[in-house]
Amino acid sequence: MRGSRRLSLDELAPYLVDFADPPPPLSWPAVFGNDNPVEIEVGFGKGLFLLTASEARPAVNYHGIEIARKYALFVATRLAKRERRNVRVTCGDARLLLQTAVPESSVRAVHVYFPDPWWKKRHVKRRLFTGEFAAACERILRPDDGQLRLVTDVEDYYHMARELITSHTKLRELPPPAPGEPAHDLDYLTNFERKFRKEGRPIYRACYTKR
């Protein structure tokens, strides 16, 4: 199934979760067909993290949310060709979905890797990290072991996000996981991390827990 044949929407459907407007509350057992822990990646791009993490940890369910439909379809195709049953992807605004559709205290981790900083003033409203987004992450994380993980190459964004998390949540900061030495060219969190680490650019990491 790994050929270059273009898959139909029917073939991609098992990997896509679509929402009505307004989105109804999710049921993770209904989405995945099991009670395994769920982790969410916000802004998955071309899906490197979802692909590598789901292969390494098949007993964990991964749900990716991406605003760009072309990337949602691209990653759904990659998942379908690998028959990666523990991943679902959604095209939508994570800021809304985390506030309204994801059940409270139901997610083991939220991963936010290299979010777009939206530099121009007229684009600031598009930024992912706001006080409301930080509070939504806190709401959906499990109280015993839930974690929020942030990685960015933009120092100003890193400090801004940390300030928002501190001022809008009671999440406790943990030492961020140390980046490992890549074993191969796909052994990175994302394509951005691979590019920036090879260029020797600084990368800023933060980790918070609801415990």
187 is catalytic: no
Q: Extract the tokens encoding 84.
A: 């990666």
Contacts within 8 Å (CB) and 24+ apart, 153-157: 153/114, 153/192, 153/196, 153/201, 153/202, 153/203, 153/204, 154/117, 154/204, 155/202, 155/204, 156/117, 157/115, 157/117, 157/129
Among the listed residues 18, 93, 116, 156, the single catalytic one is: 116
Contacts within 8 Å (CB) and 24+ apart, 69-78: 71/44, 71/45, 71/46, 71/47, 72/16, 73/12, 74/46, 74/47, 75/44, 75/46, 75/47, 75/50, 75/51, 76/12, 76/15, 76/16, 77/6, 77/7, 77/12, 78/47, 78/51
Q: Which residues are catalytic?
A: 116
